[in-house]
Structure 1
Amino acid sequence: MLSLFRLILVSLMISTTAWAEKIEIKSNPEEAEIFIIADDAGTPQKIGKTPFKQDLKELIQTYVKKNNFVFELRKDGYEPYRVLFTKTSNLDVELAVNLEVSREIKTIKKHDLLMVELFDVQKLIRGKNFPDALNKLNLLEKDYPHFSIIAELKGTTYYMMKDVEKALSYYRKSFALNSDNVDSYKMKVYLEKKLGIDTEKN
């Protein structure tokens, strides 16, 4: 759907008898596939890759079946980019497009960063640098509030600090966020028994 993509309307108001000398499309990064969507069915037709330069009149005569048409740029790992044109023009058209990294790739990179941060936290815990470990975990919790591993590591930190009640509260939170977190469940049950709390009610 067009609402999923950036849409720029380029309105070229001139006589229908005059055409642009050329259209030039560049992208960052390069090698983006270029499609033209110009029929009633909205079927994308590949016309080349960036950097791209061609006679616009020729493109229109070959592909365009209605008054408006769309150029779409696609590249793996990036969001598609669409530009809407009217059919008439007597100007050269130059487009320079900065493609945006796709949401999926952004999510993967964000998770990779989390793993690096958690590795650092584990080193701090093993080195008994508990205040810095908790500070890092507090910051991570703001960005990743639904990740059970963060609550689990908080529980581990407090447990090593001999604060059993706080440790239990975070192991419970971790298990509540992810009922498949076996380690958090085992620690939750262990600490509940240690504190004389009925596990079945918690």
Structure 2
Amino acid sequence: MAANRLACFSDPANHYSHRVRLVLAEKSVTAHIIDVPAGQCPAELLEANPYGEVPALVDRDLALFEPGVLLEYLEERYPHPALLPSYPLARANVRLLMHRIQRDWCAKVDAILDPSRSDEAREQARQALHDSLTSIAPVFAGKPFFLSDEPTLADCCLLPVLWRLPLLGVELPRTAKPLLDYMERAFARPAFQASLSNQEREMR
């Protein structure tokens, strides 16, 4: 690994890795993306993360892991353009959205993709994800981004999930039009396109 170069260990198919790549793209930060497919654990990754999990980030002598920590670090390390609002209340609201995305949707995505779960459990998670996204779709009508006029870390957590809906077997109904419109706008943005791995491009 080159000295003084930002490196990101990333699974090219994993939505947690995708959110880190999306933040890097939103901030136009050049990083060395090291693909680590599921089930692999190179020695360099173990040096960065003793748990051998991705995503992980190496910035000079600093090694970081855990997706939320990585996003917060990148926001502070590269503050422009900002992906968190200036005011404490607004910043807290974005962090709360990130927490809800994790609990309400990412947990269901992980359940659907978990081969150790029964078909019934995976189908229940799939239906719950479909119903939850459909019910919240109207909130996307008022702003160009997720409850915001500008992209935030919440969008960076949500969009990798939404990109994977076809892979997950989730098809949103026409009544979810505000959410579908949000997806179309966000997926077309240059930063989002730049964040995609070759494997992710094949998901749609």
* Fold in common (TM above 0.5): no
Return the structure number with greater relative CO, CA threshold 8 A, min gap 6.
2
Structure possessing the higher radius of gyration over alpha carbons = 1
More strand by share: 1
More helix by share: 2
